[in-house]
Structure formats: C-alpha cells, structure tokens
Amino acid sequence: MEALALERRAEQNRELRERLLQLKKERNAIILAHYYQRDEIQEVADFRGDSFLLAQKAAETDADVIVFCGVHFMGESAKILAPNKIVLVPDERAGCPMADMVNPAGLRELKAKHPNAKVVTYINSSADVKAETDICCTSSNAVKVVNSIDAEEIIWCPDKNLGHWVQQQTGKKMIIWEGYCNTHDMLTLKDVVEMRAKYPNAQFVVHPECRPEVVAMADYVGSTTGILKYCRESDCKEFIVGTEDGTGYQLRLDSPDKTFHFASKYLVCPNMKVNNLKKVVRCLETMQPQIYVPEDVADKARLSLMRMLQVK
C-alpha cells in the first residue's frame, strides 16, 4: 500500500517537473531555491543558495520572471534588486518570524537614541526595515560588512545570536536587537552534548544563528554556504550539523561518501517548508502571488542591499 502511494507520488512529481519545464520556457523564468527548501524544490531549481548567493543571482539574471522559493523577505530582496522583473513566490504565507521581530518604528526609536551609530541589518528583515538601514548583511558576509564600517557604534538587528558572534569576531561596539530565529535558537547545549557523545568521531558544524553556548561547542561556525564548503573540503567523514535540515540535500549531493547527523529533530523551519513543487508550478501558471514593494521603500532599501553587494 505504502509502495503504491510512493509510486503515485513519484509519478505526480514527474508530471509536475515536465509542466514546470514547459512553463519556465514560456515565461522565461528562473527558479531560485534556498537551501532550506524541500528536496523536491531544490531538485528543480536553476540555482540553489543561501540568502547572499540568491540575492546576487536575482540582481544578475536575464530572466523576465524570478520564482523565489524561500520566505517572503527573500522575494522582497529579489524584487528590490530587480525591480523590472516579475517576482513570484510559491506561497505568500511563507514568512520569517525573525524578520517580524523588528519594525521600522522600533528601529527609528533606537536610531534616535544613538544618532551617531550606523545600522547594520541582517537580510532576514522586511523591506521597510531595510529602508531604515545603512547596510545589509547576510551570515556569509556579516563579519566583513561590520569590519567595513567606520563608526564608533553599530546598531545591529534583528538576530541577537548572530549579532553576538559578529561582535566577538570583530570586537566592534554593537547595540544588539533582541530578535532570534525560532528554528536555530531551538538547538540547546544539551542536544549538542548528547550528539557529541553519540558520534564521538564527528565534527560539529554550526550556523551562527544558534545560541552562543551552542556555537562555542563547534569545530566550525559559518553560514550555510560556509558549512557546505567546510564539509566538502574536510578530511573528516562524519558531521553533526547545527543548521536547518534542508541543507542535507546539498550536503549529500556534495559529499555522498560522508555521513551527516542533524543535531536536533527540531532544526526544521516550518515557514520554509510551506512551499512545495505543486505550488511552484501553480505560481507560474497563474503568475500569482507576485511580490510588490512600494517604490519609495524599494529605492531606500536598495541602497542598503547594494552597499552590501559592494563589500569585498
């Protein structure tokens, strides 16, 4: 019975993939997929990446339509960087709770208290918040971005865990917003201690959105792209992974001879998993839902994103 259901599912996915190829050609579309998306989406993507790589792709593409498979703020960033393109998302309910933890009014209030500070905002934020920002960053380039800033004080938002790690790496004076990623923040020291005991030969690699005490346990700390590179290039054959479970798709593709244990069963972002292959096909059929960003907000937010893309 189960085998029959699996076969039916595989057949449905085959049909969906064929329909997708046809629609992509008709619409001159590309599919960008975040590493945290379901495997069935990563399999059909033209580009897989973290927020930084995908923002770069969106800015560079010749396609008329960008299907952004990730969460809402990522679609917004693509639209800001490519305002003349149509940006579609498979499901507009795919939001990011961390991005919602900061709003423009709150940020303006903090800026008023620290008038000489520069504002660095993690790309995991709304267009409105980016519009109040001097420069954006991702976890791939956060240290470089903060080091590039010539200011006594830096207002950092919204992720406190990433903020503390960046502060440690750069030694800068940072006023850190109290936001966090519900998924990465769920990983505890106890989880890691247990996993280390269970897999004593494995190295522990972790995303800096995790809690500081968890990050302190790691053999390697870095963005999703950094983790992928480290695991690909390392001589070690076994890893405990402290980031979202969708990363397993690319890890296994890059290193089929290595073993990856996710550090907790809770490392699954429910928002990222709202999207599925059927919704990707449907959004290209209906050309909905599209991402819109008001022009005045987009113009200001673009400056903060462009400044980030220029940091070498």
Applying CB under 6 A, which residues contact ligand SF4? 36, 71, 96-98, 124, 181-184, 244, 269, 271-272
Q: What is the smallest separation between the CB atom of 229 and ligand SF4, expressed in angstroms?
A: 19
Cβ closer to ligand SF4: 236 or 268?
268
Cβ nearer to ligand SF4, comparing 160 with 184:
184
Query: What's the Rg (C-alpha) of the chain?
Result: 20
Q: How far is the CB of 173 from ligand SF4 (least distance, A)?
A: 25
Q: How far is the CB of 161 from ligand SF4 (least distance, A)?
A: 10
Q: With respect to ligand SF4, which residue has the nearer C-beta, 270 or 294?
A: 270
Indicate the residue among 181 and 228 with the shorter CB distance to ligand SF4.
181
The answer to whether the CB of 129 falls within 8 A of the CB of 104 is yes
At its nearest, how many Å lie between ligand SF4 and the CB of residue 122?
9
C-alpha to C-alpha distance for 181 and 185, rounded to whole angstroms: 6
Q: Which of 60, 186, 207, 78 is nearest to 142 (CA)?
A: 207
Closer CB to ligand SF4, 80 or 272, in the complex: 272
Residue showing tokens 């975040």: 34
Q: Are 65 and 86 in contact (CB under 8 A)?
A: yes
Q: How far is CA 214 from the centre of its chain?
A: 20
Q: Which is nearer to ligand SF4, 23 or 269 (CB)?
A: 269
User: Closest separation between CB of residue 97 and ligand SF4, Å?
Assistant: 5
Give how far Cα 107 sits from Cα of 42, 131, 209, 289, Å.
35, 11, 20, 29
Q: Shortest gap between Cβ of 113 and ligand SF4 (angstroms)?
A: 26
Closest to ligand SF4 by CB, 88 vs 269, is 269
Minimum distance between the CB of residue 223 and ligand SF4, rounded to whole angstroms? 12
**Backbone phi and psi for residue 131, each to the nearest 5 degrees, phi listed first:** -65, -20
Contacts with 255 (C-beta within 8 Å, 6 or more apart), sequence order: 231, 232
3-state DSSP assignment of residue 133: coil
Q: H or E stretch including 249?
A: helix 248-254
Cα gap 191→92, rounded to integer Å:
33
- Secondary structure (3-state) at 294: coil
Which stretches of 224-285 are assigned E, i.e. beta strand? 238-242, 259-262
Tell me which residue of 193, 196, 197, 157 sits closest to 177, measured CA to CA: 157
User: Which tokens sit at 38?
Assistant: 């379901």
Least distance from C-beta 258 to ligand SF4, angstroms? 23
Looking at the Cβ atoms of 16 and 49, the one nearer to ligand SF4 is 49
